[in-house]
Chain A
């Protein structure tokens, strides 16, 4: 029998995003440098949370490593269950975040697709995404016996007040002192300006890329955004990210100009909420494509630009604390609902798909209310998928497929 893989579908080829390979190359390079023995690479390594302020690290020539990004890689490589089970053997309950479980276990066995992350010289934990990262980084601070810096970002339930502003601003200064101490050198404020500009530029480009899906047909889906997101997370504040996103944006604009959509037939437009289900990305993407439903936007990948309204170009460092404190996940459920409503309108979506993610309580609790708010204010159908971002044991294929079908019928 001839192999299916050898048959090239020209239409499928045309729809493929050409930048993908460049992205893989850059990410491989990034991990390769980080995995180089310390004596050769020279630069220290900081592990940092996905919503953490990475820019001062770049200014200090520290390599930032993101255990959450690695968690996603572990999930996508379907290595999550094994590592999660290992963490459970270590005494961590199964109900804890699967990124955390996978990372804690991976550290002890050099697990995951690249054989473990390089050891940290310091840990930077910002709790704007959850309280879990605090506990997780405490675990790693004990395991690696390295200094831990916590940027504590009070949540905006209903308002962000002056006391909070003062507190996070003072902590930004403490962060700089911490880095000076750990790195044994003065902080480079001039370099910080450059990094700050690159960070803002990267975020602007990323948002522009996400916004190309306002076009019909959308040149990409949120499943593509999940992939290209890695750069704004891990290399935010670098020229590499800016260059790459310029290239990607150009490609997207070209696709729009030529009317190339990611779907052969884009009938429905949907918004996704919460983290991706990493081990089933392709399966889920296909399920929606087969039903002519295009996931045009998501709350997750746009999360990395949600602080943009609070950033100050002329004083990046001065507003660092506030902008990081005010990301959408660190705000009240009704504010999060407003965010989705804005997205539905902006991207002209016909429905919302919620991933109720066992691993992420602050993202998932409140989703039922958001569902009701959307139904009331927009009158569009919503779908709730119960799963987990990395732990496949919480995924029920047949149930989810049935739900998707029922949902599509309602559109």
Chain B
């Protein structure tokens, strides 16, 4: 199959993919919520790490468990679980990040009835020695939880394999970003979004194969003549709005980088294959740019964003936030101020539901791109 078509299909029906994978392999599927889920350990346990993003369906059941001032990611994911749309999951993993995910873990544990439930109670700061030591012990505990919860033995050899394959995926995803950066137009934003959406749920071996084919295909494609577009960097938590790419492109822009946990943060930083595996996993998280729910100095994310803007010769930044996302809300003013100081234009969109206000989004996006 054309790899792009495969990614498009899976991104539209990720749950179907997981169900088929399960039938096909007899393996277990472990839901997870965050780029701080050590997917290597889940892969090494022979299970499929499945990133839960919420299908965007109307919320009714979750209203009895979560107030309306909770973000659509948390409410939507719980809705899917309660409505039986995630029946293929054998369990779920909750890395400690924000207050909302923290409480979702409790509500999920008490109400959804999936067998395996693990909290990975990570440190919030990643810049001290004691925090790093603690993180190592947390990942060791998670490894045991997985073994007990899934009834498997997680050997060092399997973990080394998992690390290798996940590194391969990261390198291939990074190559895709590089291709897009140096040859604009080689892959459309919504297609790249589809690749990532699929990458968050696919069997990592299958994923690596499909990505390799795609990268070869794109590298051989003729160079696009389209060089006049305005180069945009996205900043935010995650993107669950494929149409935003179309909006940007139709307004004459092209996305060249992002700092999404479903984008660059997913692939940035490799796990050192020569080190003790748990130490190496920890080290990757320590070195990578943080999610705003984590702390690694007070300018970590702002500095990173500026670097990426410059590196990618971007013309402007679009901040894309989920409404009610506190960590991003707190970081926004200082990150914007850092951009302002360097004369980099930016605009912010707060999104509650998928496509809820596309008209307004389009108008503002067009005005922004015209201005820069």
Q: Does A96 belong to the interface (CB within 8 Å)?
A: yes
What chain A residues lie within 8 Å of B110 (beta carbons)? 333-334, 369
Which of A12-20, A57-65, A137-145, A283-291 sits within the interface? A137-145
What is the bound-complex CA distance between A12 and B329, given in angstroms?
47
Q: Does B344 belong to the interface (CB within 8 Å)?
A: no
What chain B residues lie within 8 Å of A150 (beta carbons)? 124-125, 295
Residue of B nearest to A87 (CB): B333
Interface string of B301-322 (1 = CB under 8 A from A): 0000000000000000000010
Q: When A163-B134, A167-B134 are in contact, do A91 and B119 touch as well, CB less than 8 Å?
A: no
Q: Does A154 belong to the interface (CB within 8 Å)?
A: yes
Q: Does B217 belong to the interface (CB within 8 Å)?
A: no
What is the bound-complex CA distance between A73 and B326, given in angstroms?
23
Q: Could you tell me if B70 and A91 are in contact, using CB atoms closer than 8 angstroms?
A: no
Q: Does B362 belong to the interface (CB within 8 Å)?
A: no
What chain B residues lie within 8 Å of A95 (beta carbons)? 69, 323-324, 326, 329
Residue of A nearest to B138 (CB): A163
What chain A residues lie within 8 Å of B141 (beta carbons)? 161, 163
Which of B16-24, B36-44, B60-68, B195-203 sits within the interface? B60-68
What chain B residues lie within 8 Å of A157 (beta carbons)? 102, 105-106, 109, 119, 121
Q: Does A164 belong to the interface (CB within 8 Å)?
A: yes
- CB of B154, distance to nearest CB on chain A (Å): 18
Residue of A nearest to B119 (CB): A157
Residue of B nearest to A130 (CB): B99
What chain B residues lie within 8 Å of A358 (beta carbons)? 67, 69
Q: Does B54 belong to the interface (CB within 8 Å)?
A: no
Q: Does A400 belong to the interface (CB within 8 Å)?
A: no
Which of A295-303, A338-346, A359-367 sits within the interface? A359-367
Range class of the A interface residue count: 35 or more
What is the bound-complex CA distance between A155 and B95, given in angstroms?
11
Q: Does A136 belong to the interface (CB within 8 Å)?
A: yes
Q: Does A83 belong to the interface (CB within 8 Å)?
A: no
What chain A residues lie within 8 Å of B133 (beta carbons)? 167, 170
Interface string of A161-177 (1 = CB under 8 A from B): 10110110011001000
Residue of B nearest to A386 (CB): B67
What chain A residues lie within 8 Å of B130 (beta carbons)? 167, 170-171, 174
- CB of A246, distance to nearest CB on chain B (Å): 37
Task: Decide if the interface of chain B is mainly helix, strand, loop or mixed.
Answer: helix
What chain B residues lie within 8 Å of A138 (beta carbons)? 295, 298, 330
Q: Could you tell me if A134 and B295 are in contact, using CB atoms closer than 8 angstroms?
A: yes
Residues B4-61 near A (CB distance < 8 A): none
Q: When A131-B102, A163-B134 are in contact, do A136 and B69 touch as well, CB less than 8 Å?
A: no
Q: Could you tell me if B125 and A365 are in contact, using CB atoms closer than 8 angstroms?
A: no
What chain A residues lie within 8 Å of B103 (beta carbons)? 333, 361-362, 365-366
Q: Could you tell me if A135 and B106 are in contact, using CB atoms closer than 8 angstroms?
A: no
Q: Could you tell me if B137 and A93 are in contact, using CB atoms closer than 8 angstroms?
A: no
Q: Could you tell me if B124 and A131 are in contact, using CB atoms closer than 8 angstroms?
A: yes
- CB of A160, distance to nearest CB on chain B (Å): 10
What is the bound-complex CA distance between A365 and B111, given in angstroms?
14
What chain B residues lie within 8 Å of A386 (beta carbons)? 67
Q: Could you tell me if A361 and B330 are in contact, using CB atoms closer than 8 angstroms?
A: no
Q: When A152-B125, A157-B105, A163-B134 are in contact, do A96 and B69 touch as well, CB less than 8 Å?
A: no
What chain A residues lie within 8 Å of B326 (beta carbons)? 95-97, 131-132, 135, 361
Tell which of A142, A362, A365 touches B299, judged by Cβ atoms closer than 8 Å: A142
Q: Does B100 belong to the interface (CB within 8 Å)?
A: yes
- CB of A282, distance to nearest CB on chain B (Å): 26
Q: Could you tell me if B334 and A142 are in contact, using CB atoms closer than 8 angstroms?
A: yes
Q: Does B356 belong to the interface (CB within 8 Å)?
A: no
- CB of A308, distance to nearest CB on chain B (Å): 23
Residues A94-111 near B (CB distance < 8 A): 95-97, 100
Give 9 closest A-B pairs by Cβ, nearest first: A135-B330, A91-B333, A365-B103, A333-B106, A167-B134, A163-B137, A170-B130, A93-B329, A362-B99
6 contacts between A and B (CB under 8 A): A92-B329, A131-B98, A131-B326, A142-B298, A152-B123, A157-B121
